[in-house]
A and B are shown apart, each in its own frame.
Chain A
């Protein structure tokens, strides 16, 4: 469905107005405002999904070695690309066929290599967008694009926008969590709030693809009596000197931190899970343990009301050389846990209202770099979506015969963002925030909801 412009304008006056009030006039501490303690989500239309899990394959996995089947690339292996390379590319024009075997999967018969065998088992419920394109030939820009919708400026991250629009689904938990985010390529900027209120930045667990101890910083460092003592001193302060919004907010934040201390560790405690579940995610297996924990944490957070969860692989997918071994190693670490997450979401009835997005900041060239590598390819690549009202067992869009440029039904990163917001019931043109004299949007002045891949 598509709103016509007039509806959008009418709603936008109301919703952005309401949001602006939330942001400025209410005490900033009212993170999860209203009586129930939970913000009423912005809904421009009926939502299909309540939350998003973004499986960020940082570094750029190769689409021509995973989901974008190109017989011509196989046939013309070793020949030169028949058209020009884009500028600023270090690869040679020689075509390189995938070292992995292609076959069709499931009832729908989607093509995929045997690089990600476990994910392939879910292809009937996934949609492969094969015509992604984005801005940024280098990681920094492209990572910025996928995470914030901007390749060159400091902008709020996707998760921050969603937190701003929906708030958290749990009064004691944040709306936006980043699991094992990279410190490089902009680092905190990729899960930051930029000019949105600070509360929308992600709460972080682990870093650089490693979930670490799986805990929120300083949450365990404090004891209940410390909060009590601070509260008493604060009460003494306002009783003698008067109360105001600022101190109300600060006092409430202490309460909230204390509550979070009570809630979050339990939500984030993986030890409660059964052996069968742990096995599903590959936990306690050497190769898959860390990413498996990240994925399981994502599920626990998702079912507890967190709205946007990024699970980062770490910047490991950047195979300028050593494609075969590098990609194989990354697949070994992530494939089983991801399939485990899919299966678990399905068996718990969460799949239907959880939008899952898998992909990197860009894909890789069908031409070879060095002798066995591939360079960056923002001109055309694949991303995989599932759950949350996305049609399964389909592909959308095409790259050219070799998988270099997206040519048919092109989907820009802005379009992906527009679609993600759409599934959450948000019109990307109406979700705005005033800053530096104008209203900003996640999708800037771009973005098209890819209606073709969503269930009607």
Chain B
């Protein structure tokens, strides 16, 4: 696509393009005008015809049956004096329904079926009137009235002109004059940004103009603490502090800046800033808190990108369309796929049953995020109506919505009605691929062998066990409480029953059978043994009128396979047999599986039978051993499997035939569709075409390229402004996520533009910009008390004549406590969500989320799981970004809960104790302790008041009553953790 900003670069093109534009606008305007005339003519004719044909009768019908209903049920919201004209539709005048509202003309005379009004009062579309459906006979009246031509005598005053709300038009020329839509302008006297003083020159100009004096440069300790926390999210180590205090030169400062910028901690801290805007989370949150198993890869992508100082424009492109961009290597491909996680990790109502709506909700979330994150524009409003403040129309919205709707975000269901996404396999090395294939092959081979042996065993079991007459537990008559089970393998039929070792004397089970032949039978009882079984199971054998009492010990294994032969009996032909197992007086679990009668006398060749049995037992033993061996081989194989194919939470374009432009959803309703809008960019950004042409794929690539066009008026400005804010406390535009009409204007527009131009010219490199800012005097100025007159002259510090105290982010507060405790583990963590299944917590009242790696984990906070709905109170109360929302600028709140968690939470108490122990080891007296604590916790030298506070505390009755020094000093350290100085940068 040709850059829509090109005209601003080349003057000779401007003339040309302006001429083109004028022509094309004129043409379009004429066309539109002509169509309008045509429209009015048609309507006019129709009206005339119906007026001609209408007679008194149809007006009477209107007056008698229609007008009263309209007055009673519709005028409240659909008349000239309605407080809020519903759907922009008026029903108190004929032109009202003719022109129609948001959904177009409300009535098509003669055609009730095509009339929106009919659908509404039938409750088929918008359900009007909302207070309750009109009675059927009234609905029929309306149908008749419309079919008969909708005669309506309520004409409008001539001077009044009703226009449809649909094609609301902006004055684009004027809209484009707004500062944020103008390209950054180079200043008349550009200052080279390679010098440290460039920023100060711009700031000084305004200070001079307002007659304000800037505060002096702050003390080395204040400056260094600021720098260390701002660049790395960690305090400076005391040794660095000592050295800088000894030599606070500019050269030393620059060396420190470079050292910090080169550190991994820098990349981690700044990745976290980006994650705030990317609403990063390791779970979906919302109704169905699904685990984001692969989100951490995106987090690591950010850390890597910031460490390598990847150009911000490239990061933006990759995060919107990395999957569609060419890759130079497998590693590059992996990064580009992982980058698109950005669009995937918003919170979604996965269980929404209306999937059409869900799809548009997801699109809305993505569009809103892209708009605010990169453009500082709030597109969300335009989902239902033209933006009230910014020149963004619903048309613009759906032009962009089509891009994301042609993209696959969700895919399939994890359970009925609950949507999920597809894990995208990442490219792996050839060797890795081969080892996986090899592994799968071996596994398959083993599984086949195992299956074969198991089949053989089954046949064998059936052959040996099912001779004679077998009565399974399911065919037996049970009395009392029995529980079915398959817990221990090696049973007859589908399972066995046991008495749960309860209700002794109440449960019995009777196995009945008729023994057909006269002769000798052996009685086999099938069971499985274990130490908790009954050793004294009474068995009553009833053969016709004879009764035999036997006892079985189920704690010992059956004598043969799964059964024991209890006894042999001589029987007559047709003997009625009953074998009853009961749990009366038993001392353990009673198991009943099956009873088997096998004839063992002359009828069969005893010797052969015995031999056969012996043989099969031998065979079974062999097979069982083989099976055991195979299974252990399999276990080994699985344990030594090559790592699985890594997956990413990446998105992809839909198949070509499903990519399509999106219709306008009137009032945002998925069931109320209007014009189809070609995919493209908002009209305010282009004076020529807004549609992507030609378009290959969803349009994300085109969108990404447009966003990062060097001449785009917003993207670079928004990025520069965010970076400025992280270092200076407030953005040059203070509403960092809103550069629109309702946002604030820049306090120093020339500076913002100069920084932006320098940023883009030097390849969108973040580190260069950060270096320039922190090397300015403005960054290093001291703060003053609010009582100082300079504060009342510029209470909000808009002129940047001083520093303003800032709160350290929640993560840095925790990390700093770990540093003090000496327990911080600086390494990262992969696969941190592996211990979670589909959901991080179940949707029921008894669910307990099993949070792994909680606050007491020793790693930096960025490497802890960030589970939506379960952000640890310590972090949430210190204003960690709410992962449900895009947070460009974190609020600084002071709710009582914050004080309570800082003072009372067990983690903080523990870190305070660890810090105390470390301090006690490294110091010998209170003077040293105060020095140590001030250096480690506040990064400064002690003041007299510090030692006074400690002494007063140690002298207090409460402290004296404590049993150990450790406890006493712990309270002091804990109070320092909870203090303002610990969590604020002066």
Given contacts A229-B953, A234-B980, A217 and B873 within 8 Å (CB-CB) = yes
Q: Are A28 and B361 in contact (CB under 8 A)?
A: no
Given contacts A140-B286, A208-B846, A257 and B807 within 8 Å (CB-CB) = no
Enumerate chain A interface residues (CB-CB to B < 8 A).
4-5, 27-29, 31, 87-88, 90, 131, 136-141, 143-144, 151-154, 182-189, 194-195, 197-199, 203, 208-209, 216-223, 225-227, 229-230, 232-234, 236-254, 256-258, 260-261, 314-316, 397, 407-410, 412, 434, 436-438, 445, 448
A residues in contact with B387, CB < 8 Å:
437
Q: B967 on the interface (CB 8 Å rule)?
A: no
* 29 A-B residue pairs with CB within 8 Å: A29-B895, A88-B417, A138-B353, A139-B287, A140-B287, A140-B288, A140-B349, A140-B352, A141-B287, A144-B349, A154-B885, A184-B841, A194-B882, A197-B893, A198-B895, A237-B980, A237-B981, A238-B785, A242-B783, A244-B785, A246-B806, A254-B899, A260-B896, A407-B133, A412-B130, A434-B742, A436-B380, A437-B740, A438-B388
Q: B636 on the interface (CB 8 Å rule)?
A: no
Q: Are A152 and B352 in contact (CB under 8 A)?
A: yes
A residues in contact with B742, CB < 8 Å:
434, 437-438
Q: Which of A182, A222, A248 has the most CB of B within 10 A?
A: A222
Q: Are B873 and A253 in contact (CB under 8 A)?
A: no
The segment from B627-635, B917-925, B943-951 that touches chain A is: B943-951
Picked from B83, B891, B904, B952, the residue with its CB within 8 Å of the CB of A198 is B891
Alpha-carbon gap, A409 to B873, bound state (A): 44
Picked from A4, A246, A254, A261, the residue with its CB within 8 Å of the CB of B984 is A246
Alpha-carbon gap, A239 to B378, bound state (A): 43
Q: B958 on the interface (CB 8 Å rule)?
A: yes
Q: B708 on the interface (CB 8 Å rule)?
A: no
Q: Are B905 and A229 in contact (CB under 8 A)?
A: no
Picked from B785, B844, B894, B979, the residue with its CB within 8 Å of the CB of A252 is B894
A residues in contact with B879, CB < 8 Å:
198
Q: Which of A139, A203, A242 has the most CB of B within 10 A?
A: A242
Q: Are B903 and A222 in contact (CB under 8 A)?
A: yes
Q: B55 on the interface (CB 8 Å rule)?
A: no
Alpha-carbon gap, A187 to B895, bound state (A): 21
Q: Which residue of the partner chain A has the closest CB to B885?
A: A154
Picked from A4, A154, A182, A217, the residue with its CB within 8 Å of the CB of B900 is A217
Q: Are A28 and B903 in contact (CB under 8 A)?
A: no
Picked from B842, B900, B972, the residue with its CB within 8 Å of the CB of A229 is B972
B residues 930-954 near A (Cβ < 8 Å) are: 943, 945-946, 949, 952-953
Given contacts A218-B901, A437-B740, A226 and B885 within 8 Å (CB-CB) = no
Picked from A184, A238, A241, A257, the residue with its CB within 8 Å of the CB of B842 is A184
Alpha-carbon gap, A195 to B905, bound state (A): 26
* Number of B residues, CB within 8 Å of A: 96
B residues in contact with A197, CB < 8 Å:
891, 893
Q: Which of B368, B416, B891, B906 has the most CB of A within 10 A?
A: B891
Contact residues of B: prevailing secondary structure: loop
A residues in contact with B986, CB < 8 Å:
241-242
Picked from B361, B785, B895, the residue with its CB within 8 Å of the CB of A199 is B895
Given contacts A197-B891, A197-B893, A229-B975, A138 and B905 within 8 Å (CB-CB) = no
Q: Which of A5, A140, A144, A445 has the most CB of B within 10 A?
A: A140
Q: B293 on the interface (CB 8 Å rule)?
A: no
B residues in contact with A144, CB < 8 Å:
287, 349
Q: Are A226 and B975 in contact (CB under 8 A)?
A: yes
Q: What is the distance, in angstroms, from A58's C-beta to the closest C-beta of chain B? A: 8
Alpha-carbon gap, A399 to B186, bound state (A): 67
Q: Interface code B352-382, partner A: CB below 8 Å = 1, 0 otherwise?
A: 1110010001000000100010000010110
Given contacts A229-B953, A438-B388, A245 and B349 within 8 Å (CB-CB) = no
Q: Which residue of the partner chain B has the closest CB to A452?
A: B131
Q: Which residue of the partner chain A has the closest CB to B871?
A: A188
Q: What is the distance, in angstroms, from B72's C-beta to the closest C-beta of chain A? A: 14
Alpha-carbon gap, A221 to B84, bound state (A): 53
Q: Are A203 and B897 in contact (CB under 8 A)?
A: yes
Q: Are A240 and B945 in contact (CB under 8 A)?
A: yes
Q: What is the distance, in angstroms, from B286's C-beta to the closest C-beta of chain A? A: 6
B residues in contact with A28, CB < 8 Å:
891-895
Q: B976 on the interface (CB 8 Å rule)?
A: yes
Q: Are A189 and B979 in contact (CB under 8 A)?
A: no
Q: Are A4 and B83 in contact (CB under 8 A)?
A: yes
Q: What is the distance, in angstroms, from B953's C-beta to the closest C-beta of chain A? A: 6
A residues in contact with B806, CB < 8 Å:
246
Number of A-B residue pairs, CB cutoff 8 Å, is: 266
Given contacts A140-B349, A222-B900, A222-B903, A437 and B389 within 8 Å (CB-CB) = yes
Alpha-carbon gap, A153 to B348, bound state (A): 8
Q: What is the distance, in angstroms, from B972's C-beta to the closest C-beta of chain A? A: 7
Q: B804 on the interface (CB 8 Å rule)?
A: yes
Q: B611 on the interface (CB 8 Å rule)?
A: no
Given contacts A140-B349, A236-B943, A225 and B956 within 8 Å (CB-CB) = yes
Q: Are B974 and A236 in contact (CB under 8 A)?
A: no
Q: What is the distance, in angstroms, from A446's C-beta to the closest C-beta of chain B? A: 9
Q: What is the distance, in angstroms, from A241's C-beta to the closest C-beta of chain B? A: 5
Q: Are A242 and B843 in contact (CB under 8 A)?
A: no
Closest 9 CB pairs of A and B: A140-B287, A242-B785, A221-B904, A437-B378, A218-B904, A88-B353, A29-B894, A257-B896, A187-B869
Q: What is the distance, in angstroms, from A131's C-beta to the closest C-beta of chain B? A: 8
Q: Are A184 and B353 in contact (CB under 8 A)?
A: no
Q: Which residue of the partner chain A has the closest CB to B390?
A: A437
Q: B347 on the interface (CB 8 Å rule)?
A: yes
Q: Which residue of the partner chain B has the closest CB to A27?
A: B894
Q: Are A186 and B287 in contact (CB under 8 A)?
A: yes
Q: B608 on the interface (CB 8 Å rule)?
A: no
Q: Which of B132, B368, B384 has the most CB of A within 10 A?
A: B132
Q: B188 on the interface (CB 8 Å rule)?
A: no
A residues in contact with B972, CB < 8 Å:
229
B residues in contact with A209, CB < 8 Å:
845
Other than the known A31-B895, A209-B845, A410-B132, what 11 A-B pairs have Cβ atoms closer than 8 Å?
A: A140-B352, A141-B351, A144-B349, A154-B347, A186-B869, A203-B897, A219-B900, A221-B905, A226-B971, A237-B979, A250-B899
Given contacts A139-B287, A225-B958, A253 and B899 within 8 Å (CB-CB) = yes
Picked from B132, B783, B884, the residue with its CB within 8 Å of the CB of A407 is B132
Q: Which of A27, A244, A248 has the most CB of B within 10 A?
A: A244
B residues in contact with A236, CB < 8 Å:
943, 945-946, 949
Q: B738 on the interface (CB 8 Å rule)?
A: yes
B residues in contact with A31, CB < 8 Å:
895-896
A residues in contact with B425, CB < 8 Å:
none
Q: Which residue of the partner chain B has the closest CB to A408?
A: B132
Given contacts A236-B949, A237-B979, A256 and B896 within 8 Å (CB-CB) = yes
A residues in contact with B943, CB < 8 Å:
236, 240
Q: What is the distance, in angstroms, from B547's C-beta to the closest C-beta of chain A? A: 44
Alpha-carbon gap, A124 to B974, bound state (A): 57
B residues in contact with A152, CB < 8 Å:
349, 352, 357, 361
Q: What is the distance, in angstroms, from A250's C-beta to the closest C-beta of chain B? A: 5
Q: B329 on the interface (CB 8 Å rule)?
A: no
Q: Interface code B39-75, partner A: CB below 8 Å = 1, 0 otherwise?
A: 0000000000000000000000000000000000000
Q: Which of A208, A219, A257 has the most CB of B within 10 A?
A: A257
Q: Are B979 and A241 in contact (CB under 8 A)?
A: no
B residues in contact with A187, CB < 8 Å:
289, 869-870
Q: Which residue of the partner chain B has the closest CB to A209?
A: B845
Q: Are A189 and B132 in contact (CB under 8 A)?
A: no
B residues in contact with A397, CB < 8 Å:
132
Q: B787 on the interface (CB 8 Å rule)?
A: yes
Alpha-carbon gap, A200 to B984, bound state (A): 24
Q: Which of B361, B903, B952, B953 has the most CB of A within 10 A?
A: B903
Q: Are B845 and A247 in contact (CB under 8 A)?
A: no
Q: Are B783 and A241 in contact (CB under 8 A)?
A: yes
Alpha-carbon gap, A334 to B898, bound state (A): 34
Q: Are A233 and B979 in contact (CB under 8 A)?
A: yes
Alpha-carbon gap, A188 to B841, bound state (A): 14
